[in-house]
Amino acid sequence: MDDAPMSPSWGPLHDQIIDAANDVYGVHPGRRALHAKGTLLAGEFTPSSDAARLSTAAHLQGEATRATVRFSNGSGDPSSRDAAQDGRGMAVKLYLDDGTTTDIVAISRTVFFVRNPQDFLDFMTARKPDPETGQPDMEKLGAWLGEHPEAGTAVQEQLAAKPPASYAQLAYHSIHAFRFTAGDGEQRWVRYRWEPEAGEQTLSDDYAADRGPDYLQEEISERVAAAPVAFRLHVRIAAAEDDPTDPTVAWPQEREQVEVGRLELSGLDDSREQGDDVLVFDPTRVTGGIECSDDQILQARAPAYSASIARRSASR
């Protein structure tokens, strides 16, 4: 089953982004250019009693919805160590009654570091390792950062982050904004946050390194085999002064927050990514009652995924 992104077309810029990611992490046929290493789980999403008042979206109306979830590391190298200083991903696919799907894609950072795909490409190009040292040119990286002060918050988060104890003990943020439309026509801009019922917990760098290169993959498999893993989905509602198109700026903590559902994961999912199945989690794949913002990074995701999928599929 081919689960294609919402937009099947892409341009030279999106091919260049995939090329730049391959330059940083290497070429790994059949694997994602970013978030190459991950684990799939199966579960069910149940909306809260407050969800339907915010949006007419099908998965927020009361009935439970089947879900596939992929936890991942941000690196494009599938052999990277789980203890590496890296962002983590939580991508959720919900299977709606009409046969369509809708996706929620989130990361373990509250903000992104660029506002547009050209800046993303320039950053990835600056990160390209020197062939002689195998390390990035810190002078190039420093120059890029000096020209992009909006990246400061994301960089600080990255440098301060400790390895997680488990994928199940991280909070995940959508970073992009979406417009919810309620049954009465009222519209609100929101951002998602998945909060783990197990609480948030990190490890020391040394302890995480000693746990083995695949400890996050192994731990989540063992955890969900012993008992269900659960997250609560919250939305933060924008005020008039909050920009829904800028993923580099977090909305203030005092904004209204509403719990809109609970996700329970019951076990590993071995029904997807078998044979020719290409599983895609695309945040622009929304359903009625939810709309994407004009955030340039959000809008660039589907064509970038298309470029990546073409290469993944060709190598199968």
35: which residues sit within 8 A by CB, 6+ positions away?
A: 70, 72, 73, 74, 75, 76, 89, 91
The CA-atom distances, in angstroms, between 53 and each of 61, 235, 260 are 9, 13, 10
* Burial zone of 316 (CB within 10 Å; 0-12 exposed, 13-18 middle, 19+ buried): exposed
| Among candidate residues 69, 16, 22, 14, the one with its CA nearest the CA of residue 45 | 69
Three-class DSSP category at 62: coil
Q: How many CB atoms are closer than 10 A to CB 49?
A: 9
Tokens of 76: 């494009």
195: which residues sit within 8 A by CB, 6+ positions away?
A: 171, 231, 232, 233, 234
What does the angle CA 301 – CA 173 – CA 108 come to, to the nearest 5 degrees?
A: 95
214: which residues sit within 8 A by CB, 6+ positions away?
A: 82
Contact 91, 49 (CB under 8 A): no
Three-class DSSP category at 308: helix
| Active-site position among 14, 28, 35, 148 | 35
Fill in the DSSP letter of residue 3: -
Please say if 234 is a catalytic residue. Answer: no
Count the residues in the chain.
Answer: 316
208: which residues sit within 8 A by CB, 6+ positions away?
A: 82, 83, 162, 163, 215
Catalytic positions: 35
